[in-house]
Every structure is written in C-alpha cells, then in structure tokens.
Structure 1
Amino acid sequence: MEWITDPQIWISFLTLTLLEIVLGIDNIVFISIQSGKLPLEQQKKARQLGLLLALVMRLGLLFSIKWIMGLTEPFLNLGDTFNIENPSWYRYLTLSGRDLILFIGGLFLIYKATTEIHHKVEGHVETASNRNRPLTFRSVIIQIIILDLVFSLDSVITAVGMVDQIGVMIAAVIVAVGIMLLSASTISRFVNDYPSVKMLALAFLLLIGVSLTAEAFDQHIPKGYIYFAMAFSVLVEFLNIRTEKTALQKLKDEVKE
C-alpha cells in the first residue's frame, strides 16, 4: 500500500487521466455523430455501448503490452527490398503493425468525415435506394468498433510511454472512460443541435484522420496544436451562438413592446 503515499504515483495518475480524457475527445465526437443518425431511442444505447467497447479494448490492450510493443517493430523494410541505402529515408521505408493500423484507421476517418461534410454542404437528399438501406444499429456499432480500435491503440501506446505501473494505467483509463460516459450525452446533444458545431466536429475528425495517416509515416503532428485549434474554433462558434440568441431575444422583446 506504499503507492497511496507516493506523490509520483498520484501525479502520474492525474496526468495520464487528463491526457486520456483529451485523447478521448475525438472518440466521443465520432460516436456522437454516428449515434446521431439512429432513432432517438437508440442513440443513448449506441453511445454507451461504443464507450464501453472503447474501455474493453483499452484494458485488453493494456494487458497485452508485450504484443503492443511488438506492433512498433517494423515487419517490412522497403529499403532492403529495393536496395535503398540512404539512411535519411530509412524511417519512411519501414512499416510496422502500428503504422498499418493507424494508416487504415486514418483513411477510414478521412472517408467518413469527407462523406458527411459532402452531404451537409450539398444537402443530402434521401432517395429510394437510401430508404431501402437504412442505417442500422449494428452498422453504427461496427463503425464505432473500427475507430475504437485505432483510438485505443493510440491511447494505450501513449499510456505505456508515460507510466511504468500497469495499475496506474488501468485506473487512469477507467476513470477517463467513466468521465467520457458522463459527458457523452451533453457533448452529443450539443454537437447534433447546432449544424455549425457539427461541421466543426466533422472538420476535427478529418484533421485527426490526416494526423493518423501522417503518423503512420513517422510524420508526427503534435496533438496539442490540433486540439487547441479546434477548442479555439468551438469557443468562437459558442460566442456566435450566444450572440445570435441575444439578438433573437432582443427582437422578441421589441415585438412584445
């Protein structure tokens, strides 16, 4: 029980929990957008199931740390295959399991975000073919599982790089997902109630998709820059919403008078 009085353990726990919550924002946004396509009575269930699956994946990956670390080892070296000996190109010519997962996940996220943005901008009209193929609960959950795997892998590798004690990692992940579960409904409602905020959320997912594909080729884009840019954009949009509400209220008051 010495860990209870060890300040380093608590600092590591709090830091990792905060980081896991930040890394989980893109997960919540994707789940919110996907679950918002379902009937109202299924949306909460889809959000909760999606986040619980994320928790299960994160814990499963934490208990498979040896396998996770093995994913960072290159299994293909194009430099050897094509006899390229330039050392500066080495990192671009190797491929690991992690790189492959990030690349596929990034492309999937770019595709989904681009498709949704296209529908919003062009004005998606329901056709007979669309009505014959309604979005099902199962299809939404499958898409959530695919992205959960990518986000969970990124989250666990971050945790392993920050903390040595697996108990601290598990506790931080459980607390972070618990907070995400509590806030998911509020975030989902906010995203889906305001079209401009939803467009920002889709742009955020597109940006994350680009970041994931770049990381697959060892081009690391600090997530702090991405999150700060999106947080600033959301703040500006929030001020716009408040301004519109204030102007509308003043107009209603003038009409009453």
Structure 2
Amino acid sequence: MLDFSAFQTIDGWITLATLSALEIVLGIDNIVFLTIMVGRLPEKQQPLARRIGLVLALGMRMLLLLTISWVMGLKAALFSVFGHSFSGRDLILLFGGLFLLGKATHEIFDKLEVSHDEDPVTGQSKTGSAFSLVIAQIVLLDIVFSLDSVITAVGMAQSISIMVVAMVVAMIVMMIFAGSIGAFVNRHPSMKILALSFLILIGVLLMAEGMGQHISKGYVYFAMAFSLAVELINMKIRGRQQAPVKLHSRFEEATKGPPPPAPAQGA
C-alpha cells in the first residue's frame, strides 16, 4: 500500500512539484521518439498508437517503481572490459542509444531519399509499418527512458507515493500536449528533421551514460531548446513566401484516391 503521509508536509509538496517538473522535462525524449514513430502509421491510427505508447510508458515506470530494489541492483557491475565495469543499467542505456542512432539515421534517409512505391489500384504506398511493429519499438525505448526516469526519481524523493503521483502528473501533461506537438512536427518538414536530429543527440547521450561518461542533460536540453528557437524564428521570417520541401511519406498518397483509369487502346 502506498503511504501518503508525505503529502502532509510542505517539503513533500515541494518535492512533488520539483519531481513532476523534472519528469515532464525527461518526458521530452519520449514525446520526440513517439512523434516520429507514430508518424509512420496512417493518420487514423496515430491517436490510438500515441495513447497506447504513453500508457505503456506510464505502466513501465510504475512497474519499475514497484521493483526498486531490482532497479537499483542494475547499477552493480556485471563484467569489465579493458578495466571499465559495465552494469545492467549501462548495457540497457548503451543498446538503447545505439538503437536510437540507427533508427533516427534510417528515418532521415527514408524521409529524404526513399520514394515509396504506390499501389496502382489504390494509389497508396505499398510499404508501411505494421501497427504492432511500431508499438513494439515504442515499448523497447519506453524501457530505456523509464529506467532513466525511475532512477532519477529515486535519487530525488524517498517516498514511493510522491514518485507515483509525480509520474502520473507528468504523463497527463504529456498526453495533453503530445497530439498537438505531433501534428505541428508533421506539418513542418524542417521540424521533423530537427526532431530526428534530437533523437541522434539523445542516442549519443544514452551511449555516453552507458560507457560511464556523465554528460549533464542541461547541456543537451539547452542545445535542443536553442535549435528549436532558431527554427521557429526561421519559420516566422519565411512565413508563407515559399512552399516547404516535401518529405517522402509512406502514406502521402493515401488521401488522393485511386488514379484515373488508363484510356482504352485505339480511343
């Protein structure tokens, strides 16, 4: 049972507010990845996939909180390579970072270089991501992001109830804004490429953490915020003077309907 006595003190409420704000900031990584992955699905499936991804992220955090002793045990050294010890947490962060680097690089190539074949009858792309495959990849990265989030929460608060409430608050905020953020990113090609660049940055950060090289996340989030501010200024200056670049999309022809029938021979 959760003990809510921590909420009877001012310190408890201050800790809750601080931890909630920190969890929201840490959730930026989740939202960026979720936006990119959900964008691989048809528009009608995106809201459901977004909700499932966020609910799974919250569930993963709750599960890890209930097994704190196991989570903290992941920091124990498992083996050493060239004098450097690796723990279970290090391996999860390392492989999660590698996955993000590969995924973001592939997505940039897919958006800029790959022209997807269309079905001659429906006019829709023949290639697309299965709903279950997208959810599986979201779950995989949820594990990495949740582990980082829970370890941060354990370091800041002593009360499990405060950690649980802070994570629920953060997830509610993410659910409210994830849809509008995703729609904004999908409307602006430069934002989509910038979001993929953020994933590369996050992947490098995770790999560095996995190799025992601590990099303050403040630097990373400042770089992301500065880049976002520059791009927003660029968009404001450009206005609608020129049409944006058209990125390749698996479902870009989905709303155009079937192509007109070819003229009969001899007509």
Give the whole-Å Cα distance in 1 for the aligned partners of 2:202 and 2:180. 22
Give the whole-Å Cα distance in 2 for the aligned partners of 1:145 and 1:63. 18
Q: Cα–Cα, structure 1 residues 238 and 77, in superposed 2: closer, same or farther, change >3 Å?
A: same
Of 220, 225, 229, 1:231 maps to: 225
Shift, 1:133, TM fit: 4.9
Q: Secondary structure at the match of 1:149?
A: helix
Shift, 1:6, TM fit: 1.2
Q: Cα–Cα, structure 1 residues 78 and 180, in superposed 2: closer, same or farther, change >3 Å?
A: same
Q: Cα–Cα, structure 1 residues 167 and 207, in superposed 2: closer, same or farther, change >3 Å?
A: same
Q: Secondary structure at the match of 2:215?
A: coil
Alignment match, 2:60 = 57
TM-score by length of structure 2 reads: 0.83
Alignment match, 2:170 = 176
Alignment match, 1:117 = 108
Alignment match, 1:126 = 116
Alignment of 1:36-185 (within 5 A): 36-78=39-81, 90=83, 93-121=84-112, 123-127=113-117, 133-185=127-179
Give the whole-Å Cα distance in 2 for the aligned partners of 1:119 and 1:221. 30
Give the whole-Å Cα distance in 1 for the aligned partners of 2:160 and 2:144. 20
Give the aligned CA root-mean-square deviation in angstroms: 1.9
Alignment match, 2:9 = 6
Structure 1: unaligned runs, 5 residues or longer: 80-89, 249-257
Aligned AA (1:210)? V
Q: Percent of pairs identical after alignment?
A: 51
Shift, 1:147, TM fit: 0.4
Shift, 1:134, TM fit: 2.7
Give the whole-Å Cα distance in 2 for the aligned partners of 1:112 and 1:135. 13
Shift, 1:169, TM fit: 0.3
Alignment match, 1:19 = 22
Alignment match, 2:37 = 34
Q: Is the 8 A contact 2:16 2:166 kept in 1?
A: yes
Aligned AA (1:101)? I
Give the whole-Å Cα distance in 1 for the aligned partners of 2:193 and 2:218. 21
Q: Secondary structure at the match of 2:21?
A: helix
Give the whole-Å Cα distance in 2 for the aligned partners of 1:146 and 1:167. 26
Aligned AA (2:115)? V
Alignment match, 1:210 = 204
Q: Is the 8 A contact 2:97 2:207 kept in 1?
A: yes
Alignment match, 1:86 = none
Deviation per residue, 1:142-172 (Å, 9 max, x gap): 0100000000000001101111111100000
TM-score by length of structure 1 reads: 0.87
Q: Is the 8 A contact 2:51 2:175 kept in 1?
A: yes
Shift, 1:127, TM fit: 4.1
Give the whole-Å Cα distance in 2 for the aligned partners of 1:127 and 1:247. 31
Give the whole-Å Cα distance in 2 for the aligned partners of 1:5 and 1:77. 46
Q: Runs of at least 4 residues of structure 1 off by over 6 A?
A: none
Aligned AA (2:141)? L
Q: Cα–Cα, structure 1 residues 134 and 223, in superposed 2: closer, same or farther, change >3 Å?
A: same
Shift, 1:20, TM fit: 0.4
Q: Is the 8 A contact 2:41 2:128 kept in 1?
A: no
Shift, 1:4, TM fit: 3.5
Aligned AA (1:124)? V
Aligned AA (1:16)? L
Alignment match, 2:256 = none
Give the whole-Å Cα distance in 1 for the aligned partners of 2:190 and 2:127. 27
Structure 2: unaligned runs, 5 residues or longer: 119-124, 243-267
